[in-house]
Structure 1
Amino acid sequence: MTIYSFDLDPVSLSIDLSVGHIAELNIRDGQRTLSALHRASWVDDPDAVFPDATPPNVKRLSGDFFCAPFGRNDVEEGPSHGWPANSAWDHVGTSRQDDRLTESFRLQRRVMGATVEKRITLIAGHPFVYQEHSFSGGAGAISAAHHVMVHMADGGDLAFSPKQGAWTPPEALETDPKRGRSILAYPAHTEDLTSFPLADSGMADLTVYPIGQSHEDFLTLVEAPARSLGWTVVNRKAENDRIFILRRPEILPVTMLWMSNGGRDYAPWSGSHTGVLGIEDARASPLGHADSCRDNELNRRGIPTAFLLDNARRITLRQIIGACGEQPGEGVCKQLYEEGSGLSLKFHNGGTRTLKYDPFFLAE
């Protein structure tokens, strides 16, 4: 394992080069330092025991990682979520320009023949991580996703850019009650995120987390048409802060939510992986690489689920992760919008606040 760390006030982060995960992300906000992303407890436990065939991305489960493909790896031989989430990266360069610091990394393996690169930029005074992943060359189709994970000690409220609806896949994550539990209905669909069907009847409000006790669930949110900015806000109660994830919907048109709240009883989860929400912005089918490349439920709706690689082409995906503390009187953040050279936050009480932000990063 090799950890590569860098910082530019107010952000400091570390990359676990053995798997390409963000191992730690801290953002200074006044006198506070916000620990924005989740890191599984077993990562730092030298005595952790893993079942045979546990993939590296689970053993090193941290922060955010890049999936290519997303989920089941059933076209090109490799582990779930692909080599970018499971194998080594090299640090290949540092660039400093004015108030910006950019660190560049390259995956040691190729994906469908493509070279995969990661570039992370920090900007002085900005409480955001600007990250880019790219495929150069290759052949065939590849799905891809970010895999941001946030931990909430006492739950929180969620807000999203407008969605067409939410869908669960044909089967639950956990179908054997001896191993774990899922509580949503599978398959199911709703256009109202505050009312998603539960397996035992009743409804779950997807804008509040957690939706229940001791469960492992997964669903896909599809962006509403003609949106220029896709976003998720996680308002964390105990931490008294909020986490932001932003991307371009035409590049990454779906957001998959992984709800990991003590619903897996087998190692390494062992019922103790609780309060974790995965926010997985993607161009992918939730059913894996092969399904992403063929006719499927999403692309029949006009939602692309894969990128087409080409030896003469470079494909770039960009995403922004940020955080800020909650100030007195603000309450829940319900909306984000770009305004000039800032990102404006709108709260449930009608108040607003603007953070330093680069509106050109996602537009390039």
Structure 2
Amino acid sequence: MPDLGFQLSNLSFAIDLSVGHIVHFTIDEKGRVLSPLHRAPWVDDPDAVFEETTPPNVRRLSGDFFCAPFGRNDVEPAPSHGWPANSAWSHSGTEESGDRLTAVFTLERKVMGATVEKRLTLRAGHPFLYQEHRLLGGEGAISVAHHVMVQMAAGGQLAVSPKSFAFTPDVAPEPDAARGRSILAYPSETSDLTSFPLANGGAADLGRFPPGERHEDFITLVEATMDEPNSAPGWSVASRNAEQDRVLVLKNTAQLPVTMLWMSNGGRDYAPWSGRHSGVLGIEDARASGAGHADSIRPNPLNARGVPTAFTLSDGKSISVRHAIGACSIHTDEGDVVGLATGSGRITLRFTKGRERSLVFDDGFLAGL
């Protein structure tokens, strides 16, 4: 199934309809093309080798995709990250006006009985891809997440909205030394994002990527503010050294109260990873437990602390999840990102050198859900 592409003004994106992954999103910034999303090297390799159990979402691993549920699928039969990340979508239509394009897609399978609709919007002059996923009807409870992946070939910096704490799960992503390596301490927790415990002693600054060499790690960051529907958005900004740009990822914190970081830096030796999937940072905004669907919908350590980990589906009910991805170039006189604010149709980035820069942004898009 071929990728389907769309363009408006200086913006473009393409979607892999076989699995619903965004293949690429590009912004032509005054003649310089920014491409913030990662695509796994084996996707376009006709000779790629896969273990028999490799799910479609790994075989076609690209850009960003919507997970429902997130991670282990141990309630309703489906591959990891659910049918939205592993099965076909239909293009339902395209809504166009002079300065706006919205492509609409429908998942060809149901999730817990719910119909899933994807709406991807470009707006002229906005260096963002606006996403909305709607779950219509269904029964039971479901966790959800976005799965944004950013290639950082020579590392970089990560700035995030205020977090209350960060923690790793009980077991490392790669506990078997014959297959791979992880370097963070599992389990562990801290409120200091600049000093997360390492397995062999010492600490990693989560604001610097990567924190080590040849490793695969997973950590959950919990928002400091998640109770107010109209509060400031949650955000992550990855500033990339080699690419000399900044990738912006934004969410509604009441909807998606956690951000899970997947650090994929050559730490898996088995196919198709084969040590070649490196310098990739996953920024996975979620309403989920990292331990899978079943854990997300029962009492767990997160919801015990007031952090919601699932939505409740019901007949006649619609749940809307919104998210935005953008990018801008790095200016040499800025320094590191230390803050982000929205208002009056703009996003304003604040930097260590005291400077500010604003980008056009629909600040009402994420609010009030």
Is TM-score (shorter-chain normalized) higher than 0.5?
yes
Deviation string, structure 1 residues 28-72 (Cα, Å, up to 9, x no partner): 111210111000000000111111011000000000000000000
Cα shift at 1:2: 2.2
- Alpha-carbon distance in 2 for matches of 1:283, 1:11: 29
Cα shift at 1:284: 0.2
SS of 1:111's partner is coil
- Alpha-carbon distance in 2 for matches of 1:7, 1:347: 32
User: Which residue of structure 2 aligns with residue 57 of structure 1?
Assistant: 57
8 A contact 1:213–1:261 mirrored in 2: yes
8 A contact 1:10–1:126 mirrored in 2: no
User: Which residue of structure 2 aligns with residue 272 of structure 1?
Assistant: 276
User: Residue 349 of structure 1: which of 331, 348, 353 is its match?
Assistant: 353
8 A contact 2:232–2:342 mirrored in 1: no
What does residue range 63-82 of structure 1 map to in structure 2 within 5 Å?
Answer: 63-82=63-82
Cα shift at 1:98: 3.9
- Alpha-carbon distance in 2 for matches of 1:344, 1:111: 37
Name the stretch that deviates more: 59-68 or 219-228: 219-228
User: Which residue of structure 2 aligns with residue 155 of structure 1?
Assistant: 155
1:242 matched to 2:246: yes
User: Which residue of structure 1 aligns with residue 321 of structure 2?
Assistant: 317
- Alpha-carbon distance in 2 for matches of 1:149, 1:67: 13
Cα shift at 1:327: 1.8
Deviation string, structure 1 residues 163-188 (Cα, Å, up to 9, x no partner): 00100000000011010000000000
Deviation string, structure 1 residues 154-208 (Cα, Å, up to 9, x no partner): 0000000000010000000001101000000000000000000000010000000
Deviation string, structure 1 residues 51-104 (Cα, Å, up to 9, x no partner): 101100000000000000000000000100000000000000111134111100
Identity within the alignment, %? 62
Give the letter aligned to residue 349 of structure 2.
L
SS of 1:94's partner is strand
- Alpha-carbon distance in 1 for matches of 2:18, 2:76: 21
User: Which residue of structure 2 aligns with residue 93 of structure 1?
Assistant: 93
User: Which residue of structure 1 aligns with residue 218 of structure 2?
Assistant: 218
Cα shift at 1:336: 1.2
Cα RMSD between the aligned structures?
A: 0.8
User: Which residue of structure 2 aligns with residue 132 of structure 1?
Assistant: 132
Flag structure 2 segments of 5+ consecutive residues without an equivalent: none
- Alpha-carbon distance in 1 for matches of 2:220, 2:140: 24
User: Which residue of structure 1 aligns with residue 22 of structure 2?
Assistant: 22
SS of 1:300's partner is helix
8 A contact 2:232–2:341 mirrored in 1: no
- Alpha-carbon distance in 2 for matches of 1:31, 1:101: 22
SS of 1:43's partner is coil
- Alpha-carbon distance in 2 for matches of 1:233, 1:111: 31
- Alpha-carbon distance in 2 for matches of 1:328, 1:216: 31
User: Which residue of structure 2 aligns with residue 116 of structure 1?
Assistant: 116
User: Which residue of structure 2 aligns with residue 297 of structure 1?
Assistant: 301
User: Which residue of structure 1 aligns with residue 363 of structure 2?
Assistant: 359
Cα shift at 1:10: 2.4
Name the stretch that deviates more: 292-301 or 218-227: 218-227
User: Which residue of structure 1 aligns with residue 171 of structure 2?
Assistant: 171
- Alpha-carbon distance in 2 for matches of 1:209, 1:97: 40
Cα shift at 1:7: 1.1
Q: 4+ runs of 1 displaced by more than 3 Å?
A: none
1:336 matched to 2:365: no
- Alpha-carbon distance in 1 for matches of 2:332, 2:173: 39
Number of residue equivalences: 364
Give the letter aligned to residue 147 of structure 1.
H
- Alpha-carbon distance in 1 for matches of 2:178, 2:98: 57
- Alpha-carbon distance in 1 for matches of 2:10, 2:239: 20
User: Which residue of structure 2 aligns with residue 83 of structure 1?
Assistant: 83
- Alpha-carbon distance in 2 for matches of 1:39, 1:335: 28
SS of 2:255's partner is coil
- Alpha-carbon distance in 2 for matches of 1:287, 1:2: 33
Give the letter aligned to residue 357 of structure 2.
R
- Alpha-carbon distance in 2 for matches of 1:132, 1:149: 18
